Structure 1
Amino acid sequence: CLLRQDSMNVSSSNVVRVVLASWSVGGFILVSCYTSNLIAVLTVPFFPPKISTIEGLAKSDFRISMVDYGEFVPEALATSQDEDLKSLGDRMDLVYNYDEDDISYGELTQILLDGEHAITETYSYLRNLLAYDKEARSSTYVLKEQIYQGALAFFLAKHTPWKDRLDQGLRQLVEAGLVNKWYTDIMSTTSSALHDKKSDSKEKPLTLSNLQGPFIILLMGSTIALLVFFMEAMFRKAIGRVPFILQDDKAE
């Protein structure tokens, strides 16, 4: 059965037949799963490894792009002492900063979807940008490793009298966890939108974990079959003794 070459000789022994039946079912499952996985491996197209680090991005053929709104990042990358960051800075393409952000970031997103650029922006803004663009969300991802960490600040005039009070209030909000709570609430909608991408994944080929159910059913069926076989053998043996006892009674 495993080689799909059935034997013409069938054993008359019930035990052998039970074993052969179990082996036939198991062999059929193994052959089917192996054939399916082999076809999947041969037919699924090969995809390049996923970029997950700044070093991998620097060694790739992607160029970098961002909106030119006066950020220090382009100059910082171009003058960086790190070879990977400097390589990204040398391949930086800036998008004109229009009066409306939708136009600027729409053009930036289109450059990203063209497949030749990676875009850089603050982490939270990128998550929002992907969350509300279905096409970009389904074909792009955010690099976990970040180029730099930034902080948000309030710009005040020098010698502002209530600066200390504002610093104290902001510090209390941070220490109480309210800032993180508000950030989590605001970003929860983007997180749920990004998780929709995972739920839309295509069917995956069978793996060993998928075969646990069929083999458990096979084991249960074999166990029940063996119990029925032994019960049938004992019952047949008991029936065979009855005529012999009756003949002894008549002989007396």
Structure 2
Amino acid sequence: MALQRHSPLKRKFDRAIRWMLESGLIRRWFLESLRLSRKANEQKNDSLDTSSSEEDPSPSSGVIPLSIDHMQGAFLVFVFGNVFAVLVFLLENCCRRRAKDNEDFNLSFSGSKGKRPKIMSNM
């Protein structure tokens, strides 16, 4: 688990993980995943033996190899997020330059830093 060194949640996570280890849950989950993997491999081998012309595994086996089509949504979110980040970065730089140019213009026009010249009326 990726937690900061002195995080207040670290002790709670450590206790929960220790409890799972001591109760045997992690070992049970590991053995169950091995059993399911072995079963999926057997089904795959059986389907290859019965129909060698079919290259894709049957959807009933529950194991479908991922392709680019499956990951297309994640790639699109990643690309659009990066494009949006670059646009925001450019907008921030543009606004910062415009604010800096306005500040330089105001300083050079007034002759004093931050003070406006007083206008006197003859009334």
TM range (shorter): 0.3 to 0.5
Report the structure, 1 or 2, having the larger helix content. Answer: 2
Give 1 or 2: higher strand fraction.
Answer: 1
Rg (Cα) greater in structure: 1
For CA contacts below 8 A with separation 6 or more, give which structure has more relative contact order.
1
Normalising by structure 1, we get a TM-score of 0.21
